[in-house]
């Protein structure tokens, strides 16, 4: 077995498929968001392997670029950030078990208190360890995921006010639906959140951060910026859904590329790939590309376009676990030719948003399903 450093070298040298991540574009996007939200602080969300871009490198770049804090889904992600030397605050959004609390407190990780019981457990753990816990209170204003209902929030606020070993760093909620064409639910949630906060604001002994806006709220509902925003997908240069105006000057951070590894002529009427969902309408040149759903390039992307020699070419047949086939018609392509699955080539570009629309999945899925089998190559 090769040592880890040599394994990495071999992967980069031999795998024709790779994801290229521009840390310069990531830094640009953070600065664009910070400029747009003014005095609000920015919590950069890096969960799910930095939205598929590479956890450690992305987190380090965002800390260096001035992010106020980082957001993750699980305690394991937060511990990895501390392991690599991240010093800024890290908030874990997800639900927790009592047995995990010692890890939060010992590693100075911000914990979400989503109920009266959880708040009491955090206080007990902090007192037992003789340390202070950093806490964000979670209010459910309409998502019905975790968090105390907005109409029951005084009970959570009272429990937090009684705590002697906790610093209440923030109070937050999360939008269930931010669509530019219909912001009615988002506005209702914001109203519920702000109304529930009045109870705590009148009683709190120390300042705290109010936050509710992720990427959609940042772009479409500026009233929701409050004290802190939590951009996720926008940081990576992708819009969360169709219909958003380009109010941010963000740049795509990721480029997914591969190479042609096989060329053949498929005879008229011959089927291609599993199930023969596509058959050649005439003698057709087809090339094989070494990426598939085993890499996170979803089977739902069958029929999408790639770029070869500056031209759009459609994927034909079902995407396989490790390979896919592309119809180049009567065009030319040779083994080793670059293939762009996400990004620019020549005068054209395949965007994450385009792939999401074609395949019927969300832009988030296009990014986060790209797994560790695909080497990441970072550039400044």
What residues are annotated to the active site?
47, 274
Backbone angles phi, psi at 116, to 5 degrees: -60, -40
Residue 302 to residue 293: CA distance in whole angstroms: 10
Q: Judge contact between 236 and 229, C-beta under 8 A.
A: no
Phi-psi region of 335 (alpha: psi -120 to 50; beta: other; left: phi over 0): beta
Count H helices and E strands in the chain, helices first: 12, 21
Distances 273 to 44, 278, 316 between C-alpha atoms, Å: 41, 8, 8
Strands 284-289 and 324-329, how do they pair? antiparallel
Residue 208 to residue 226: CA distance in whole angstroms: 11
Residue 299 to residue 200: CA distance in whole angstroms: 48
Residue 340 to residue 337: CA distance in whole angstroms: 10
Backbone angles phi, psi at 327, to 5 degrees: -85, 115
């Amino acid at each position: 077995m090769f040592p880890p450093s040599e394994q990495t070298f071999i992967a980069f040298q031999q795998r024709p498929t790779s994801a290229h991540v521009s840390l310069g574009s990531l830094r640009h996007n953070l600065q664009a968001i910070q400029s747009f939200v003014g005095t609000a602080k920015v919590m950069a969300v890096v969960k799910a392997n930095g939205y598929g871009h590479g956890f450690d490198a992305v987190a380090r770049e965002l800390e260096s670029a001035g992010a106020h804090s980082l957001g993750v889904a699980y305690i394991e992600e937060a511990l990895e950030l501390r392991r690599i030397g991240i010093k800024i605050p890290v908030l874990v959004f997800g639900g927790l078990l009592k047995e995990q609390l010692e890890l939060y407190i010992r590693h100075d990780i911000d914990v979400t208190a989503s109920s009266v019981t959880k708040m009491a457990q955090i206080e007990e753990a902090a007192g037992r360890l003789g340390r202070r816990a950093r806490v964000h209170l979670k209010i459910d204003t309409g998502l019905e995921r975790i968090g105390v209902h907005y109409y029951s929030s005084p009970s959570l606020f009272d429990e937090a006010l009684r705590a002697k070993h906790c610093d209440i760093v923030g109070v937050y909620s999360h939008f269930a639906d931010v669509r530019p064409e219909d912001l009615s639910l988002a506005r209702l949630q914001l109203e519920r959140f702000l109304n529930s906060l009045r109870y705590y604001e009148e009683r709190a002994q120390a300042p705290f951060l109010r936050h509710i806006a992720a990427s959609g709220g940042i772009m479409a509902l500026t009233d929701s910026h409050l004290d802190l925003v939590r951009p996720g997908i926008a940081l990576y240069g992708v819009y969360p859904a169709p219909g958003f105006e380009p109010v941010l000057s963000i740049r795509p951070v990721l480029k997914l590329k591969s190479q042609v590894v096989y060329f053949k002529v498929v005879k008229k009427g011959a089927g291609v790939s599993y199930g023969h969902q596509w058959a050649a309408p005439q003698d057709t040149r087809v090339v094989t590309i070494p990426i598939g759903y085993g890499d996170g390039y979803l089977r739902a992307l069958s029929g999408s376009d790639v770029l070869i020699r500056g031209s759009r070419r459609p994927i034909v047949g079902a995407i396989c676990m490790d390979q896919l086939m592309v119809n180049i018609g009567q065009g030319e392509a040779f083994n080793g030719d670059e293939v762009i699955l996400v990004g620019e080539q020549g005068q054209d570009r395949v965007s994450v948003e385009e792939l999401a629309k074609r395949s019927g999945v969300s832009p988030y899925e296009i990014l986060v399903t790209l797994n560790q089998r695909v080497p990441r190559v970072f550039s400044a």
